[in-house]
Structure 1
Amino acid sequence: MPIRQVVTDRVAVITLSHPPVNALSIDGGVVAALGETVAAAQADPTVSALVIVGDGRMFCGGADIMDFDRDLAALDTVRDVLNRIEASAKPVVASIHGVALGGGLELALACHYRLAHRDSRLGLPEVSLGLLPGSGGTQRLPRLIDPSTAIELMLSGRRITAAQALEVGLIDAVTEQAPIDAALDFIRTHGPLAPRPIGRLTADGVAAVVEEQRATLRQGLNPAPAHILTCVAAAAGPLDEGLALEARLFAELAGSEASRGLRHAFLGQRLAGRIPGLPAATSAAKIGAAAVIGGGLMGAGIALAVLDADLPVVVVEPNEAARGRAGAKIRDTLARSVQKGRLTEAAAEARLGRLTLAGDISSVADADLIIEAVFEDMDAKRQVFTALDAIARPGAILASNTSTLDLDAVAACTSRPGDVVGLHFFSPANIMKLVEIVRGAKTDPAVLAAALGFVKQIGKVGVVASVCDGFIGNRIFEEYLRQAYFLLEDGALPRQIDNAMEAWGMAMGPLRTMDMAGQDIGWNIRKRRAVEQPDRPYSRIPDLICEMGRFGQKTGSGYYQYPDGRTPVDDPVINQLILDHSAELGIQRRDISDLEIVERCLLAMINEGARIVSEGVAYRPSDVDIIYLNGYGFPAERGGPMFQGDQMGLQTVLTKIRFYQDQRHGWAWEPAALLVDLAESDRRLGALNA
């Protein structure tokens, strides 16, 4: 049963028991059972008070997100139950442990008294899903605590501690007891309790706070923050009117592209770690000590990510000067974290105490996990793995940070290819959330499970990919870039392309991205692929820029000039180079609309993503999306390229791809067989996520 009840000393203790997070599920019967149990307790003459607690490790993690994709009118059942709890003639106490998030906190807000264990965390994170608290949160929270604090909690979605909740007046007491014992003691100590109505607000005070917040609100793809402010403004009026407005705006948001994209991302991130045939996460080997080979920016960033997880790490860099720079980079980064209040001096010192800088590769002999982070060159990587094969202890995991190279060729340099896995971090590795976990042809399932566990252990998002040139992320990015380069030939200029993609929501346009990453990196990849894939040529424009010695920000110029080292300034020299190149090719340049820029870049990503899924390089379409949301600046509210394909409709996607196939470079627009199959059978990419 999802709800249990026991009567103790005239107190009905009602327990939510719906693992793993005690979600207020409608389809799971939790809400209906809770309503029936509360009603029965209210009608029972032997009961003088009610207590609501959660079973297991938490009070309540919130609503069941899957319910939001169904008939939203069903959510009225949740609201009705919470309204009945608030209107109860008998006092109702919520005793929180673990977390009370979203609908879980709204349940607690409907109760008359709230207690929380000292280790609890409370919050209303709905904004991160493109939603607002839809079961009374926007009305009850600002009536209970200072409205400006209530607004900040809802707009940020952050979790607060029990001590912080007590300080702002959200709860009545912090406890150290088990939830039931704490509630019974509270009732005995403070009894007899009486129902406590929610507070009232003055219209003038709320209006001023709301307008102040609205003036600083950043316009973005997510309309939820503005709707939250609208609801809070209504909290100065009658509660029933505010609740009605909240329900209406919640339904509006639930149907928006932004919320659907954010919910898709939330669920997709959960799916990403579920790989068929892997050992259970609880049985995967734990990493106790790690090592990084290579002291460049990537190696130092990976070491910082490991140190941030309170793990010891050895960084091996044979070059003494480079080793010194790696140590300085790590120390400086930790020092900045201390200056910004993100880290205490003691914690920074403890992390530095777990760092070892070494010049000899033999220093990694005892590590559980060794991550190679040397230059993206096959010979260099083979040299490292040949050495590691002789040095690393039996059972150690040998990981490569390669972004495009053949992991199986790297593994073949060892006598233990089953221990080899790819861990492709994204720069800066200590900040970027994504790690592509590359499964080689001979990677042992237990090693893959341990790699997934390690990525989670250091607070990153791991997505598994099979071996191919570029894996998932960079392989799709190549087609994105290919279209950006061809758009330059056809009539666009760098600023228009970057502005169009950034206005659509990308964190940074493709040409600015390459300037930041280093144009020479892409140049080296194109040189290799010109030999390996002669039938898929690129535009010559980026090579011409590299031949001028313009490698981006690090040289002060690329597609743009960077007089201050960071800010891109249009360069007439590059614009003229692009015009001259089009003329050399005999291309009659034309006006390119921003819509065409976005459409061509996005369709190229969708098409290549579908090809990757059909080849089994990605396990499911949502894995492609999670990679792009966490590693490539794709706007979370857009859900990812595969989600966008479904939003456009695959038949429309296929029609547009075939249109561009009839223009220049038809070979680059060959439709993925999976897209053709799904479009012709009127199915969606999302159906393959199950």
Structure 2
Amino acid sequence: MSVNLTFQDGTAILTIDNPPLNLISAEVRAGLLRAMAEVTAQGAKRLVITGAGTVFVAGADATEFGRPPVAPHLNDVLAELATLPIPTIAAMNGTALGGGLEIALACRSRIAAPAAQLGLPEVTLGLIPGAGGTQRLPRLVGIKVALEMIVEGKAISAAKGQAIGLVDLVANDPMAAALTFDAPAVIADQRPAPSADAEAVQAMHAQIKRRFAGQIAPAIAIDLVSSSATLPLAEGLTQERAAFLTLRTSPQAAALRHVFFAERAAANRGRDYPKPLHPMTTAIVVGGGNMGASIAYALAVAGLEVTVVERDAAAAGRAEANLNKLVDQGVSRGSLSASEGLAVQSRLRGLVGYSALPPADLAIEAAFEDMGVKQAIFAELEAALPAQTILATNTSYLDVNLLASGLKDPSRCLGLHFFSPAHIMKLLEIVKGDATAPQTLGAAFALARRLGKVPVVSGVCDGFIGNRILMRYRQEANRLLVEGALPDQVDAAMRGFGMAMGPFEAQDMSGLDIAYANIKRQGGAGVPLVERLVEDYQRLGRKSGAGWYDYDAGGRAADSSLVADVIRATSEALHLTRGDFPADAIVERITLAMIAEACAILDEGIAGRPQDIDLVMIHGYGFPRWRGGLMHHADSLGDLRDRYSALAETDPKSWVVPPLLRRLADRGQSLASLN
């Protein structure tokens, strides 16, 4: 049984037992109703609700969200619980999320174990709490705190819960404490309404415009929480339920569920490879620049002893400064305590040269993008380190097979492509070379889990998954410029679509010199705009005060008349007639280009599944999560063959109907069928 009921000295003990997370399924909901009826029939004097194992209830079963609701519904179950005439106590022995916390809110009292995490994360799935969370939580903690918990969707600790009034008692044994706890006489749904807080509501609306642009659920959640101060509880609950049911079937909720399950699948992909015999404890990072230092810091935070290798004392000094800065930032921002900062610092050491390298489980080179330099580093590492040390490259573009070809044992070589800044960005592309051993991949997945990364396996090609799509993205954006658009129009259109940044402001951030080097490495194909800006005007982006935009002393961007002139001159040189591009046309051209490249990546076996590409684009390149990623978005657009055919008619050199999409459409299948 997923719900068990026992009696002890007049107390009914209801245990939700649906391992491993005690998720709320239709069976659990029905079991709760049956148990409450039995509690009433037996004349129990109090009811204690707890979870089996180490979890209270981790939320609803998300697999049900894609199907029609099945009675009994949780809101109806909790309406019954909230009006029981006996003391009701939630003994939260562990995590209480979503519907789990809503069960606790419908009780008169809540007792939590010290390690319990409490939260209402529904907004992260494109929903709002649908069983009383937006109405009962503010009646306990007030409008401002309820908004923070519901709109931001972050869990809080039991201690924080007690401090804000959500938790009545923190106890090592919540069940034992609940048996004697003096619960209040007031029925849960007779709590007074919270005071209105227009300032908090206005501030949260302003915040979601910045942080959740394009998403529907956050604004609805704010309005519902705000209404708890003025609406009778029954009316507020009715409005909440109606909003929940509408959002439940929305495209955004479907997209966010897709990402949720894709992330879960990615985390479990390591099971396909041999489990390491022991966890990594030591690592070497070659190169202490911004990227190398960030990788080393991330490894040290995860508990590894890290040696950072540089070529000379001056470079080692700069690396040490970079590492110290990262530790200081971690402490100042609260991600590390002062003692944790000292511990991380103690696990970091610098070294000049390779002659005194300590043994290590992993060595990562993070030098600049030059094959000769990286091959020389690998030769030094192979000579100095034990045969079982994994040798990894952080290259963003270069051929991992060629890099491994000079090793005596290429099976221990792979790419670990971190994204900048490596200690913050969640994505880790694990690049599998032709000779990479399964054991090496298993160790990489174990490391990704330890670092809290989203791991995606990529085959070997120029740019792997993400940067290869990025190249096509930028090429199409440049093409739009010479056909009539300007940088600010393209950037605004892509931000409106939901990208974190437009392509040109992002390139100014990373540096046009980096883009220029890649263009030269690839033979200079494409529209020659970056070349003109770098070669003729030394415009390198923000670092030089001028790139696609002009920048003042405070770093504020302004449109550049010089860049506009260069673009128009290039259009003329290419004999192109400039036209007008509305935002939706810009978005369509760029997204179709990205989708076409992604389809080629799938066809070539570089990516294993469409959902892998979705994760890469979301976690590495700012693609809007609420659109589900690039390939989920492609499916949402329907049959794309006619759109590609129209583009191919006007520009057959640049466009074809992607063969993969043609095959899928002929079979009546979607990209999702390949997941």
Quickly say closer, same or farther: Cα 1:42–1:669, change in 2 above 3 A.
Answer: farther
* Residue 83 (structure 1) aligned with residue 79 (structure 2): yes
1:677 maps to amino acid: R
Pairing partner for 2:240 from 241, 246, 249: 246
What's 1:167 paired with? 163
Q: Secondary structure at the match of 2:457?
A: strand
Q: Secondary structure at the match of 2:557?
A: coil
Pairing partner for 1:308 from 292, 301, 315: 301
Q: Find the aligned partners of 1:580 and 1:626 in 2 and give their Cα distance.
A: 39
Q: Find the aligned partners of 2:383 and 2:206 in 1 and give their Cα distance.
A: 63
* Residue 231 (structure 1) aligned with residue 219 (structure 2): no
Q: Find the aligned partners of 1:565 and 1:392 in 2 and give their Cα distance.
A: 47
Pairing partner for 2:528 from 540, 562, 579: 540
Deviation at 1:529, TM superposition (A): 2.1
Quickly say closer, same or farther: Cα 1:40–1:200, change in 2 above 3 A.
Answer: closer
Q: Find the aligned partners of 1:13 and 1:58 in 2 and give their Cα distance.
A: 16
What's 1:534 paired with? none
Contact preservation (8 Å) 1:143, 1:198: no
What's 1:660 paired with? 647
Please say which of residues 602-611 and 201-210 is displaced more in the overlay: 201-210
What's 2:28 paired with? 30
Q: Find the aligned partners of 1:184 and 1:304 in 2 and give their Cα distance.
A: 43
Deviation at 1:204, TM superposition (A): 6.2
Please say which of residues 30-39 and 436-445 is displaced more in the overlay: 30-39
Pairing partner for 1:374 from 367, 377, 387: 367
Q: Secondary structure at the match of 1:394?
A: coil
Contact preservation (8 Å) 2:648, 2:654: yes
Q: Secondary structure at the match of 1:669?
A: coil
Q: Find the aligned partners of 1:688 and 1:473 in 2 and give their Cα distance.
A: 19
What's 1:8 paired with? 8
Pairing partner for 2:65 from 65, 68, 91: 68
* Residue 144 (structure 1) aligned with residue 140 (structure 2): yes
Quickly say closer, same or farther: Cα 1:174–1:274, change in 2 above 3 A.
Answer: closer
1:676 maps to amino acid: R
* Residue 291 (structure 1) aligned with residue 284 (structure 2): yes
* Residue 620 (structure 1) aligned with residue 606 (structure 2): no
Contact preservation (8 Å) 1:309, 1:458: yes
Q: After superposition, what is the alpha-carbon deviation per residue over 1:278-308, rounded to whole angstroms, capped at 9, x for unaligned? A: 2366x56411111101122111111121122
What's 1:48 paired with? 45
What's 1:504 paired with? 497
Quickly say closer, same or farther: Cα 1:364–1:621, change in 2 above 3 A.
Answer: farther
Q: Secondary structure at the match of 2:307?
A: strand
Q: Secondary structure at the match of 1:607?
A: helix
Q: Secondary structure at the match of 1:557?
A: coil
After superposition, where does 1:568-587 map in structure 2 within 5 Å?
568-587=557-576
What's 1:198 paired with? 189
Q: Find the aligned partners of 1:275 and 1:184 in 2 and give their Cα distance.
A: 40
1:4 maps to amino acid: N
Q: After superposition, what is the alpha-carbon deviation per residue over 1:188-212, rounded to whole angstroms, capped at 9, x for unaligned? A: 3538x85733344458635675456
Pairing partner for 2:428 from 435, 438, 447: 435
Contact preservation (8 Å) 1:144, 1:199: no
Quickly say closer, same or farther: Cα 1:565–1:613, change in 2 above 3 A.
Answer: farther
1:247 maps to amino acid: R
What's 2:397 paired with? 404
Please say which of residues 499-508 and 195-204 is displaced more in the overlay: 195-204
After superposition, where does 1:299-338 map in structure 2 within 5 Å?
299-338=292-331
- Unpaired runs of 5+ in structure 2? none
Q: Secondary structure at the match of 1:198?
A: helix
Q: Find the aligned partners of 2:206 and 2:453 in 1 and give their Cα distance.
A: 34
Q: Find the aligned partners of 1:38 and 1:622 in 2 and give their Cα distance.
A: 42
After superposition, where does 1:110-125 map in structure 2 within 5 Å?
110-125=106-121
Q: Find the aligned partners of 1:565 and 1:418 in 2 and give their Cα distance.
A: 49
Please say which of residues 399-408 and 555-564 is displaced more in the overlay: 555-564
Pairing partner for 2:348 from 355, 362, 377: 355
Pairing partner for 1:391 from 371, 380, 384: 384
Q: Secondary structure at the match of 1:452?
A: helix
Q: Secondary structure at the match of 2:598?
A: helix
Q: Find the aligned partners of 2:399 and 2:21 in 1 and give their Cα distance.
A: 41
Q: Find the aligned partners of 1:630 and 1:304 in 2 and give their Cα distance.
A: 20
Quickly say closer, same or farther: Cα 1:601–1:279, change in 2 above 3 A.
Answer: same
Quickly say closer, same or farther: Cα 1:632–1:284, change in 2 above 3 A.
Answer: farther
Quickly say closer, same or farther: Cα 1:63–1:410, change in 2 above 3 A.
Answer: same
What's 2:510 paired with? 517
Q: Secondary structure at the match of 1:404?
A: coil
Q: Find the aligned partners of 1:525 and 1:341 in 2 and give their Cα distance.
A: 37
2:40 maps to amino acid: Q
Quickly say closer, same or farther: Cα 1:96–1:362, change in 2 above 3 A.
Answer: farther
Deviation at 1:237, TM superposition (A): 2.5
TM-score scaled by structure 2? 0.94
Please say which of residues 206-215 and 284-293 is displaced more in the overlay: 206-215
Quickly say closer, same or farther: Cα 1:417–1:324, change in 2 above 3 A.
Answer: same
Contact preservation (8 Å) 2:256, 2:626: yes
What's 1:488 paired with? 481
* Residue 676 (structure 1) aligned with residue 667 (structure 2): no
What's 2:259 paired with? 265
What's 2:125 paired with? 129
Quickly say closer, same or farther: Cα 1:42–1:409, change in 2 above 3 A.
Answer: farther
Q: Find the aligned partners of 2:256 and 2:203 in 1 and give their Cα distance.
A: 27
Quickly say closer, same or farther: Cα 1:218–1:201, change in 2 above 3 A.
Answer: farther
Contact preservation (8 Å) 1:434, 1:461: yes
Q: Secondary structure at the match of 1:357?
A: strand
Q: Find the aligned partners of 1:57 and 1:508 in 2 and give their Cα distance.
A: 42
Q: Secondary structure at the match of 1:679?
A: helix
Pairing partner for 1:108 from 77, 95, 104: 104
Q: After superposition, what is the alpha-carbon deviation per residue over 1:355-401, rounded to whole angstroms, capped at 9, x for unaligned? A: 11111224444111111111111111111112222222232211110
2:116 maps to amino acid: S
Q: Find the aligned partners of 2:150 and 2:367 in 1 and give their Cα distance.
A: 44
Deviation at 1:3, TM superposition (A): 2.2
What's 1:552 paired with? 541
Q: After superposition, what is the alpha-carbon deviation per residue over 1:89-116, rounded to whole angstroms, capped at 9, x for unaligned? A: 3332211122101111011111222110
* Residue 687 (structure 1) aligned with residue 673 (structure 2): yes
Pairing partner for 2:586 from 588, 597, 613: 597
Contact preservation (8 Å) 2:189, 2:233: no
Q: Find the aligned partners of 2:190 and 2:617 in 1 and give their Cα distance.
A: 45
Contact preservation (8 Å) 1:221, 1:258: no
Q: After superposition, what is the alpha-carbon deviation per residue over 1:583-609, rounded to whole angstroms, capped at 9, x for unaligned? A: 111111111222121111101111211
What's 1:609 paired with? 598
Q: After superposition, what is the alpha-carbon deviation per residue over 1:61-87, rounded to whole angstroms, capped at 9, x for unaligned? A: 10112221111x437622121222212
Please say which of residues 47-56 and 365-374 is displaced more in the overlay: 47-56
Q: After superposition, what is the alpha-carbon deviation per residue over 1:95-148, rounded to whole angstroms, capped at 9, x for unaligned? A: 112210111101111122211001111111112222211111011111122222
Q: Find the aligned partners of 1:596 and 1:85 in 2 and give their Cα distance.
A: 53
Quickly say closer, same or farther: Cα 1:363–1:35, change in 2 above 3 A.
Answer: farther
Contact preservation (8 Å) 1:24, 1:62: yes
2:88 maps to amino acid: V
Q: Secondary structure at the match of 1:205?
A: coil
What's 2:56 paired with? 59
Q: Find the aligned partners of 2:457 and 2:35 in 1 and give their Cα distance.
A: 44
Contact preservation (8 Å) 1:284, 1:446: no
Q: Find the aligned partners of 2:601 and 2:243 in 1 and give their Cα distance.
A: 38
Q: After superposition, what is the alpha-carbon deviation per residue over 1:434-489, rounded to whole angstroms, capped at 9, x for unaligned? A: 11111112212122121112122122222111112211101111111111111111
Quickly say closer, same or farther: Cα 1:195–1:92, change in 2 above 3 A.
Answer: farther
TM-score scaled by structure 1? 0.92
